[in-house]
Structure 1
Amino acid sequence: MAEASALVFGATGALGRHALNALVARGIDPATITAAGRNHARLGELASAGFATAAVDLSDSADVAELVARHREVVLISGRDPNRLAQHESVIEAAKNANVQHVYYTSGVRADDDRFEINADHRATEEALVASGVPYTILRNTWYIENFQQSLAGPRFTGVLAAATGDAVVAAASRKDLAEALAVVVTTAGHDNVTYSLSGDTDFTYADIAKAMSVVLEREVEYRPVAPEELRALLLKSGMDDGLASFLVSLDETIAAGVFARVGNDLSRLLGRPTTGLVEGLTAQ
């Protein structure tokens, strides 16, 4: 087996799965990639596919440091744990101490805009990475089209997409597109100390999203904007607990403020093609 040279944290997640596929599609030998994560079943599948694997908890800084020290490059796919900032900082510190050649980090679009609390961990991670002195590439990912798959259940039965997003637009992109862009910068030169803002080609309105849902569900779906308080009441009535309902309402309010509106053409430029549309993204696996 070839010596693993690239370490991918978050490899067992949805974006990680696409990233590994994209790296292999670009000619990288799976044996030279260490796929790291916590899902043991998925790690077993990856091992069978020829990847080196490592079961790791990012909260264990000693294990993280030992793992990082055995690799030349690190891909840090941002986590979702409540303490993810400390985990990210642990990886960056380990990369600095091990003189890693490059760190690639998947951040959030508009992470440098302190109006959006949703990106606070991304912003702090970016600052730590830049301050570390390790060569880096930051990819600020937009909203996943696949996130809207979770919103299909209601329209499937009611024909209504209700959201507290007002007239907001979302330049969403598919995970596959964002993973492919990551693979491009990992496998080509010219990306040292560069930050990319990755948006889809189109600012989709929620009416556009409802129209795409109509195609996917094969029934008419209309977008109905609601006030945050009304959305929260609807979610609670559906049986959702208060904490999750409050989080989703807050997320809609953030979307309404414009955090996921288009920021440029970095994504399609890296891909060398147009970004994926709504219908295809809504049916993606």
Structure 2
Amino acid sequence: MTIAVTGANGQLGRLVVESLKAKTSAGEIVALVRSPEKAADLGLETRAFDYARPVTLGAALSGVDTLVLISSSEIGQRAVQHHNVIEAAKAAGVGRIVYTSLLHADTSSLDLAAEHVETERDLAASGLPVTVLRNGWYTENYMGSVPGALQGGALIGSAGDARVSSAARADYAEAAAVAATQDGHAGKAYELAGDTAWTLPELAAEISRQSGRDIPYKNLPQADYAAALKGFGLPDFFAEAVAGWDVAASRGALFDDGRQLSKLIGRPTTPLATSVKAAIG
């Protein structure tokens, strides 16, 4: 069986590839990337594959049994790009698609949800067997704030006391590898999230405990948080988006207690303390 991974050179893609290598032979894995020369270190067959250029897709999917479709990183272009891949997969005779969607995409208040919902509809209409992995928040999304919190003496955000059911990117990668290599996942959708939810004040407390410093959490209005992020050098669009995601979190968008992720991978998800330790270094 040939398993192909889109975006195999990305942060999630590389981890999916490593998880797949532990479950099947490298000869059965194909890395689909924009620039094959940048993925030579993966030790796999690599094929040129660009979501936005349909002409590159058909040949790259030849002989693929299972396609792990990692969602595009280009917000605002995802639905069209994913549609291109789905159409090419149908034409190439791909046997099944495993797609990385968003936690509770159909009911989420996150602005990221709409493109995932559109892609899920495209997949349902494709006639192909599909497995939908609705990934919750990556713990790493917040770990990038740890150095700044240590430097500035406080962790800032706009999520209040909202509970975030995050998991490490490696946990979600293992779920994708399980879904791609095991039978019984076709036609299913999984709501994937971390075992133990945490709040931003609890994250600040964990940073304080591990660093030996007092790092409080300061909750800011959305506009003030976005302005602060811009001051740190984030592009305006991204700063506004991050602040909006925090506000959505305050309304429950990042919480889930179903523990489907740990059930799927057969182990507990990575604890917050482990990720904080890695972020502090």
**Global fold match (TM > 0.5):** yes
Mapped partners of 1:109, 1:223: distance in 2:
25
Higher mean Cα deviation, 255-264 or 34-43? Answer: 34-43
Report if aligned partners of 1:61, 1:90 keep a CA contact under 8 Å in 2.
yes
User: Retained in 1: the 8 A contact 2:36–2:47?
Assistant: no
1:233 and 1:58 map into 2 onto residues whose CA distance is 33
- Between the aligned residues of both structures, percent identity stands at 36
Which of 245, 250, 258 is matched with 1:251 structurally?
A: 245
SS in 2 for 1:193: coil
**Root-mean-square deviation over aligned CA pairs:** 1.9
Alignment of 1:5 with 2:2, yes or no, is: yes
Distance 2:127 2:16 in 1: 25
1:76 — aligned with what? 69
Name 1:45's counterpart in structure 2: 41
Distance 1:60 1:92, change over 3 A: same
Q: CA deviation at 1:245?
A: 2.7
CA 1:272–1:91 in 2, change beyond 3 Å: closer, same or farther? same
Superposed counterparts of 1:23-102, under 5 Å:
23-26=20-23, 28-46=24-42, 49=43, 51-81=44-74, 82-102=76-96
Q: Equivalents in 2 of 1:184, 1:278: separation in Å? A: 23
Residues 1:284 and 1:135: Cα distance change in structure 2 (over 3 Å): farther
Question: Could you give the per-residue CA deviations for residues 126-177 of structure 1, whole angstroms, max 9, x where no partner exists?
Answer: 1100111100100010111111121113211222111111221100000111
CA distance 1:29–1:122, shift in 2 (3 Å)? same
Deviations 1:7-49 (A, max 9, x none): 11010011111111111112x1112111011254541111xx2
Name the CA distance, whole Å, in 1 between partners of 2:31 and 2:197.
34
- 1:18 is aligned to 15
Confirm or deny: 8 A CA contact 1:197 1:263 kept in the other structure: no
Gaps of 5+ in 2: none
Query: What pairs with 1:79-158 in structure 2 (closer than 5 Å)?
Result: 79-81=72-74, 82-113=76-107, 115-158=109-152
Q: What code does the residue aligned with 1:66 have? A: A
In structure 2, the CA distance between the partners of 1:227 and 1:194, relative to structure 1 (3 Å rule), is same
Question: Structure 2 length as normaliser, TM-score?
Answer: 0.92
- For 2:235 and 2:32, locate their aligned partners in 1 and report how far apart those are by CA, in whole Å: 33
Query: Is residue 101–residue 133 contact of structure 2 (8 Å, CA) maintained in 1?
Result: yes
Going from structure 1 to structure 2, the CA distance change for 1:114 and 1:228 (only over 3 Å counts) comes to closer
- Does the 8 A contact of 1:140 with 1:197 survive in 2? yes
Query: What SS class does the counterpart of residue 192 from structure 1 fall into?
Result: coil
Q: Give 2:39's aligned amino acid.
A: L
Mapped partners of 1:34, 1:166: distance in 2: 43
Report the TM-score when normalising by structure 1: 0.91
Higher alpha-carbon deviation: 247-256 or 209-218: 209-218
* Cα offset, 1:77, TM superposition: 0.6
Aligned residues of 1:170 and 1:204 also touching (Cα < 8 A): yes
Matched to 1:202, the amino acid is T
Q: Distance in 1 between matches of 2:13 and 2:61?
A: 17
SS at match of 1:169: coil
Q: Is the 1:36–1:56 Cα contact (8 Å) retained in structure 2? A: yes
Shift of residue 116 of structure 1?
3.2
CA distance in 2, matches of 1:265, 1:134: 27
**Distance in structure 2 (CA, Å) of the matches to 1:236 and 1:129:** 37
Gaps of 5+ in 1: none
Larger deviation, residues 248-257 vs 72-81: 248-257
Which of 206, 209, 215 is the equivalent residue of 2:203? 209
Shift of 1:106: 0.6
Shift of 1:97: 2.1
Q: C-alpha separation between the residues in 2 aligned to 1:143 and 1:239? A: 23
2:179 is aligned to 185
